[in-house]
A and B are shown apart, each in its own frame.
Chain A
Amino acid sequence: MGTFFDALLKLWESSGFCQLFNFANGGWKNCIMIVIAFILLYLAIKKEFEPMLLLPIAFGMLLCNLPLAGIMDPQQNSLVPMTAEEVTHYLAGINDQVYPVFEMNGQYFWQHFEQGGVLWYLYQGVKFGIYPPLIFLGIGCMTDFGPLISNPKSLLLGAAAQLGIATTFLGAIALNGLGIEGVQFSFKEAASIGIIGGADGPTAIFLTSKLAPHLLGAIAVAAYSYMALVPIIQPPIMKLLTTKKERSIKMEQLRPVSKTQKILFPIFVTLICVLLLPDAASLVGMLMLGNLFKESGVVDRLSKTAQNDLMNIITIFLGTTVGATANAETFLQPKTLLIIMLGLLAFSFGTAGGVLCAKLMNLFSKKKVNPLIGSAGVSAVPMAARVSQKVGQQENPDNFLLMHAMGPNVAGVIGSAVAAGVLLTLFG
């Protein structure tokens, strides 16, 4: 009977439950992370907050916080010196070990190899900056730059909305002065937090994986959560910074854009951006390659694959592995809470920057711009443009701002990629 209970006890001790409920050994941290994963799953499934990414992120978070699962454990390679007897056997051609042999300066070693978790292997695509540019390829295939080409001034609104990145970067550095214990942001960390203001998930992940990979989980969760909350965050700021008269401005119909212009656009954007900022090549280049696939009309198969199958596969890999970086040790830090707060600041300032830039343009331009379209400069395609349309129609039901707002919206994608390139150049 005793043996039976001993076996049961041994089974219990080797289980994840034992580790999870071993609060003295830090199991409570995993419990908190699992609760956070449940909350994110609820938001993704029930509230449909950016479910395409929040769901895999939340599930990745859940997986990596289950003790002993080892799904995110790195691959282990080590060299173990061979004993004299083993060397003799090896030289005599008797090698009954499964490990390969490594010889260095006359010494012999066993090359021990421990396989990593499946998500660790998939994470290499994030670590080496492969997934975000592939996502950009798909985004490029789905994006119509027509409204932007039709109204080139939209690019300025897209640039102004990057103000959120700059202010959040400064905000993170300023927090160092508060002397909060365990909160000291380096330039690299501050730049990674600032890029949340770009409201562009792949860009945020790309830059963070290069500059501050330990903050990847927190920054991805903050970026995607706030992107989902754009319809709640932006309208009060837009209304606060504009008058009723400004919100009612009707804009002229966009001029038609020829096919040639649409084809030349990605080529010229690539040339200028990549020559100016080589570090932005992977993001801008892939975005524009995707767009050229679409606009050229000669590679429909590639375009369809990039915007559907490839994009979906990469989204699964990216979301799950980014979520799996949010383990208890790295996520449950005071910094995470501050990153979440700074992310809100980033979105708010980005929105304000776009709206104020549109107001500034109205001072010098004969053709008036509805300042509401400025808020769409914070990427978050097409949610931010829809918000501009909705708020505009609240003032004037006959006002259709959606296509006008798509200009700054897609300009924001280019702007945030360029901003990421600058930050990578400055701090990479």
Chain B
Amino acid sequence: MKNFIHFFANRIGWGGLSYPVPSHANTFAYSLGGTTLIGFCILIISGIFLAQYYNPSPEEANQSVRYISEQAYLGWYVRGLHFWSMQLVTVCVALHLVRTFITASFKNPREINWIGGVILLGITGAFIFTGTVLKWDQEAYEALEHNLWAANKLGPLGLILSDNFTKSVSMLGRLYGIHTSFLPIIFFPLLGLHLFLQKLHGLSEKKPIENNNNKMIPFTDHLKHLAIYGVGALALVSTLAVIIAPPLGNTPVIGIEVTKPPWMFVWIFALENIWVPFLIFAPPAIFVFLFSVPFLERNNDTLISQRKLPVSIFIICILIFVALIIFGMISTTGHSM
């Protein structure tokens, strides 16, 4: 067996991946990006399976998801894997972003990688939104209604996201195309760039360079470590998939608004309760803020003790965000589209 592995390792250039990385690469905080990537791998594989059964026509979509859950061999399980992996990816992406900020890993020379990461975060959000609509139940329909409302308010800017763009394909069909074609096409090159820049600039130091006494380990060791995280992630989502089936409502009833969005979007719901147009302004405002982070904090300080103000502002933003999520969860609908 060892000879067999050695044979392949030589031929695929495994040894070329033995370049040194700091040993803290193997800590949980610095493995969040890798764990997110593993979560995406589970999403892709389970998504390919689901695509074999899913029908993106508004008349059939909900029934085809029900068919996956109740009739297709292992369909309920793979759908569960897809759903729970998405939850895992959301949590890991959020923690990855927080870790990157707290450790000042976005600073010179990693600004572009931070911006690439923020774009990947936006694409992840788009994946979740379009995936939510695809199950075509009441929650999905209302999510689409909000999207259409925002698109109409944006006028020509929102035309591409509105149902006026074309009458030849249903909005659901177009969102299915976006979920399975358009988003992956822009996601993977950006992910490649993110990984390339990570390799180019190396892992950020855990301590300032002058005090750095970190041990170095081969990158292959980090990959083996990530494989353990991967097995752990798969064990976790697989257990959840076996125990709890993802929610699926019936075919939507047009004209009423009775659901709330998934938890990762419920903060928008909370803001809409305060002022409905926040739906249009809040997400771009957050992304503008995230994009501007490397330009707002341009010094080379990396220790938290040297960055009390930016870290405090960031923590306050996180607390507001968490408060909005909780407020959205407990509040009742105070708006309608």
Tell me, yes or no, whether A binds B.
no
> Which residues of B line the A interface, CB within 8 A?
none
> Which residues of A line the B interface, CB within 8 A?
none
